[in-house]
Structure 1
């Protein structure tokens, strides 16, 4: 749930509501205003700001103000020229549709990248890298996106599975322990199937990494580490789950590559060796043709730091 949504659903006294209306009207302009400035402008006591913050689950006004500004900046960045729900019109021609979809995907990547922070990404990478087993809990179309990630991770000798069968998730959760990293993927952060396994995972001692939308949710709050995906789509009044799927795919690719980079040359040599052993494909295209092994080793070595 976005902070703005939480504000709209919370009951406030008349004095508190006048303050809330002022904040929503001024939006990011409140960054330059002190508690005293806002209190005087709305004719309330400064303690009202602190009371509102605590009612919304924050320790004080500064924390609420920071969270509000961060959310508003995100919601008003990117996607100014394209609608995530209706990215093209019925009158658009084929090439125009293709161009708009390209713009949508490019914007989605930029938007998702803006939500990534170094320390959070490092913690997520640590959880995956240190785990003996990675178990993914998600549903619907997200399963297909997760399958590609699981395949890549298994090629790095990381045991990675997906709890796909409805009704089996609880059993899968019980078969975890402190050496397991449970990866939970949910756009709303309130997926009922995943919420049911959360207490089991915590009881078993599994480490929990989640990917959810921005804002407060049950899954993000209960996770050891949470990555945020692009949050632009409505639940169902849209052409497709374009930005959600693209954002999740991008984040999973990032996680795969950050784990890969921990043992870069070792992992690269392993993939090349396995390809030579089992990939019998051929091509007349010079782009696709593999170099002889001696040249390939020289190429990979040239990318190593001095």
Structure 2
């Protein structure tokens, strides 16, 4: 049963909830693209009403409602001329390849934005600031994006732990406690190491931010917060992870920006002063 059908069959709704249901049924695209306060203003209900309705649907947040709506509306069909898995044809010129990748990148950014619950970004930003240690767990090529996030944060004086080897990742998870926050990157929860690490962190009462696809992921139940990749690509059958890679970079850059913005003037001053020190020593 798709989410619009579920919404239409909800019972025992308040008058405000019925008003919101009517708005969603008439304007599903706006729900996907609007922030909670925009939805509330245009549908003439409160933000609290939105989240009550989300709870009645059995969803964990507005982000999951957006994902369900995207799936129902098959928004990716708008880009039917783009094959996310095979965007490069043998007959393409270099410029055609560049154009096709540009379409994928634009669609990827739009899809990533559509999945985000703004309230989750706010909460994750607060918890990153509160944590004494931020750990990032991932594997394979995604390590490069985790390391780039580590570099960005280090430039403003925040130390990030990005363990790489399997044993060190397990050891890091075992040593974690409530002073830590863990960012876990897992497209579908298939990796044995990441699965084991997630369970250890959960048992140690570590808050987990899971960056994942919109597909079912067995690790979802352990995550306090979920942020979703663009998920149009096949996990295996493709030329390269053009879309997923860009989506992950976009998410990490957003988390860095949210953290930076919390103490904006201090972070700018810190970066500039450190650059001056470095350049002075290099001259």
Query: By the TM > 0.5 criterion, same fold?
Result: yes
3-state SS, counterpart of residue 276 of structure 1: helix
Equivalent pairs counted in the alignment come to 234
Q: Quick one: distance in 2 between partners of 1:143 and 1:181?
A: 18
Q: Contact 1:88/1:100 (CA < 8 Å) preserved in 2?
A: yes
Q: Quick one: distance in 2 between partners of 1:151 and 1:78?
A: 37
What is the RMSD of the two structures over their aligned residues, measured on CA atoms? 2.8
Give CA deviations for 1:244-278 in whole Å, capped at 9, x if unaligned.
Answer: 11100000000000000000010001111111111
3-state SS, counterpart of residue 194 of structure 2: helix
Say if 1:85 and 1:278 are closer, same or farther in 2 by CA, change over 3 A.
same
By how many angstroms is 1:121 displaced? 1.0
Structure label with greater radius of gyration: 1
- What TM-score do you get using the length of structure 1 for normalisation? 0.69
3-state SS, counterpart of residue 263 of structure 2: helix
- Aligned equivalent of 2:232: 232
- Aligned equivalent of 1:118: 118
Give CA deviations for 1:99-145 in whole Å, capped at 9, x if unaligned.
Answer: 11122112111111111121111112122111111111100000011
By how many angstroms is 1:61 displaced? 9.1
- Aligned equivalent of 2:218: 218
Matched, 1:193 2:193: yes
- Aligned equivalent of 1:256: 256
Alignment of 1:19-58 (within 5 A): 23=1, 30=5, 34=9
- Aligned equivalent of 1:158: 158
- Aligned equivalent of 1:244: 244
Q: Quick one: distance in 1 between partners of 2:74 and 2:257?
A: 25
- What TM-score do you get using the length of structure 2 for normalisation? 0.74
Q: Quick one: distance in 2 between partners of 1:73 and 1:273?
A: 50
Q: Quick one: distance in 2 between partners of 1:60 and 1:155?
A: 40
Q: Quick one: distance in 2 between partners of 1:30 and 1:280?
A: 64
Matched, 1:94 2:67: no
Q: Quick one: distance in 2 between partners of 1:29 and 1:85?
A: 29
- Aligned equivalent of 1:273: 273
Q: Contact 1:174/1:204 (CA < 8 Å) preserved in 2?
A: yes
Say if 1:168 and 1:81 are closer, same or farther in 2 by CA, change over 3 A.
same
By how many angstroms is 1:76 displaced? 3.8
- Aligned equivalent of 1:304: none
3-state SS, counterpart of residue 140 of structure 1: coil
- Aligned equivalent of 2:178: 178
Structure 2: state its 5+ residue gaps.
Answer: 12-53, 60-64
Q: Contact 2:6/2:57 (CA < 8 Å) preserved in 1?
A: no
3-state SS, counterpart of residue 236 of structure 1: coil
Q: Quick one: distance in 1 between partners of 2:194 and 2:251?
A: 19
Q: Quick one: distance in 2 between partners of 1:266 and 1:35?
A: 49
Give CA deviations for 1:6-35 in whole Å, capped at 9, x if unaligned.
Answer: xxxxxxxxxxxxxxxxx5xxx677478548
- Aligned equivalent of 1:133: 133
Q: Quick one: distance in 2 between partners of 1:169 and 1:81?
A: 41
- Aligned equivalent of 1:41: none
Q: Quick one: distance in 2 between partners of 1:223 and 1:174?
A: 17
By how many angstroms is 1:187 displaced? 1.1
Say if 1:205 and 1:114 are closer, same or farther in 2 by CA, change over 3 A.
same
